[in-house]
Amino acid sequence: MPEPEKPVLEERVARLERLVEALIHRGRTEQRGPEASAPSRPVGVESGAGEGSQEPGQRPSQRPGQGPSQRPSQAPSQAPRPDSVAARPPSGAEQIGSPSLAGQSERWLGRIGIGFVVLAMALLLKLSFDRGWITPALRLVAGLGAGSVLLFFGLRLEEARKRLAQALLGGSIAIFYLVGFAGLQLYELLPFWVALLLMTATTVLSIVLSVRQDSPLLGVFGVAGGLATPFLLESGSDNVSALAIYVSVVLLGGGAVQLYRGWVSLLGTLLVGGTIVLALVVFAADGAPVVVPTLAIAVFWLVAAASPLLRPVVASLPQPNRPLQFALWDSRAAVTWATLATVVLLSVHLSFEVREVGLLLFLFGLMTGTAAYRTRGVSLAQWPSAELSALCVAFGLWFVADDPAAILLVVAETLVLFTLVARGAPSSLRIIGHVLAGVVAWAFLYYAANAPLDGFLGLREDAFVRLAVLGIFVGCSMSVEKDHAPVYKAAAYIGLLAWVLSEFGPKPYGAQLVSIAWSVQGAITLVASVRKRSQPLQLVGLATLGLVAGKLLLFDLSQLEPVWRILMFLGFGAGLLGLAYLVNRPPDSEQSVQREPREESSP
């Protein structure tokens, strides 16, 4: 712009600033009430003081040598009069806040309306098929026409009425899916490659439109419409392979959008819809080839489980605006659901035995464990994959190994989890370790009481395996946090008491052996408490000896022979006297301190 016109622009800026200040002042005066308003001069008429006043840092509005009378005459005419602006009454939309209300109404009316249109098209196809109104070829042409009309108007309205356009575009995608599947499966008018090409093009169209408009709803429309096609048409076709390929195409299209955008609603649609449709495929594939449905199930897991784990790692992908805690739970739910559904579907489809299911869980545990190792430092990917890996390995061990060996292996995994947490693994693995330890403790007591006899050295079967479990519990007490260490030590201590009772109780003279073993365990604990000066350990030792005393009085007194009764009572009483002497005996350091003053006082 030429240099002589700069003062003109500066003058306009100064006038607009004073106009805004006057409007603000007038609004505040009207809010305080008419009685508080003071008469003021019109903003459009400027006095000399108003002309000379400027804001701090404001450039002068006049050129050197130019007086007030030389201001441009067109500047006041271009500035709007504040009286007319303030006096303009608000419209009905501004009074009730209807822009937001109208947008919500448009959104929901569009969703409900297009849903009924798609449902009506599906019912019309079924009714026309039942009554023979029109030929199948005309039905397909009518479906393509209806979808094209919705697509045309949706594209025309995408700038002016975006929400309504999204509903129309979603309906067109659903109808295209219906036409493709009906032409192949229901009417058998389209060759396989034509139907596959049509559905692939529809999937690509849904991907492009959802990404173009940044619309999760449009993506949900496309995926849900495609996955719901078998249910809407009630197809009785036995072409399971074609159905599996169709489902894979829909899942891959929706998964691509979800991977790029990270929409939770679309991920939920893939999980729920994919599980239902693949269950239909599995139950319809009785006696059919198993390769294609198996690949479809693998595609489902890759889309629903691997995608949430992969998104946080790729920095170029846009991340959703959700708190980290909620995003973490979304990822956990998606990965767990997808893996559980995949294991169940594959087990049913391939007729797996229990051990084969365990090996399948090991496979998923290995894959998710590798993902957790490769995504260290990315909590949204590392935490869910590490947690799922721990659970898959635990269940796999339980399914593959025998019961006692499974107990030992699971508690060994617990120790490994605690060690990994101490070295920087996700802290949620500690919670999984505590849960597994609780399950192992219950299973230990159950199998210790119900295991058959006549094992090694006359003990129960796998008695030493259960004894090793107690040793691992002691190791866990050294790896967990200090608050939980006493719990694991107490579990190991009580487990040893239960182990002695279950192994020696059924033997001849088992009551005597149990009493002796418990007495020795309590005595060792009491002596150790004195050496370590541990009051909790002392209470445990005294409680164990009290348990032995109660057993002698309540059970052994009536069950033992007189000679054994005398020997047991005599030995137990003498042992208590010896412990009383050891407990009250001062430590060596205190004895040396007591001897030194006596030596100094002697002549």
Tens-place pLDDT, residues 338-352: 999 999 999 998 889
- Total residue count of the chain as it appears in this document: 603
- Residue 187 domain flag: no
- Residue 477 domain flag: yes
Q: How many domains does the chain have?
A: 2
Measured distance between the N- and C-terminal CA atoms of the chain, rounded to whole angstroms:
117
Question: Mean of the per-residue pLDDT values for the chain?
Answer: 76
Q: For 554-587, give the secondary structure using H, E and C.
A: HHHHHHCCHHHHHHHHHHHHHHHHHHHHHHHCCC
- Residue 248 domain flag: no
- Residue 164 domain flag: no
**Residue 29's pLDDT is what?**
59
pLDDT-above-70 percentage for the chain: 72
More confident residue, 525 or 46: 525
Residue 236 in this model has a pLDDT that exceeds 80:
no
**Residue 284's pLDDT is what?**
79
**Poorest-confidence range of 23-27, 212-216, 320-324?**
23-27
33 lies in which domain range?
Answer: 1-45
Q: Are 207 and 155 in contact (CB under 8 A)?
A: no
State mean pLDDT over 238-258: 82
Between the CA of residue 601 and those of 252, 586, 589, what are the distances in Å?
95, 22, 19
More confident residue, 112 or 543: 543
More confident residue, 213 or 233: 213
Tens-place pLDDT, residues 489-507: 999 999 998 888 888 877 7
Residue 92 in this model has a pLDDT that exceeds 50:
no
- Residue 168 domain flag: no
Q: 188 falls in which pLDDT band (50, 70, 90)?
A: confident
**Residue 47's pLDDT is what?**
39
**Residue 527's pLDDT is what?**
83
- Residue 41 domain flag: yes
Helix, strand, or coil (residue 231) = helix
Task: Please state the φ and ψ torsions of residue 97, each to the nearest 5 degrees.
Answer: 65, 40
State mean pLDDT over 227-232: 68
Among 220-234, 454-468, 525-539, the range of highest mean pLDDT: 525-539
- Residue 245 domain flag: no
**Residue 99's pLDDT is what?**
47
Residue 295 in this model has a pLDDT that exceeds 50:
yes
Q: 159 falls in which pLDDT band (50, 70, 90)?
A: confident
More confident residue, 476 or 63: 476
- Residue 36 domain flag: yes
pLDDT-above-90 percentage for the chain: 19
More confident residue, 542 or 345: 345
Q: For 445-491, give the secondary structure using H, E and C.
A: HHHHHHCCCCCHHHCCCCHHHHHHHHHHHHHHHHHCCCCCHHHHHHH
State mean pLDDT over 346-360: 91
State mean pLDDT over 347-376: 92
**Residue 435's pLDDT is what?**
94
Residue 360 in this model has a pLDDT that exceeds 70:
yes
Q: Kindly report the CA angle at 443 between 441 and 444, in degrees rounded to 5?
A: 65
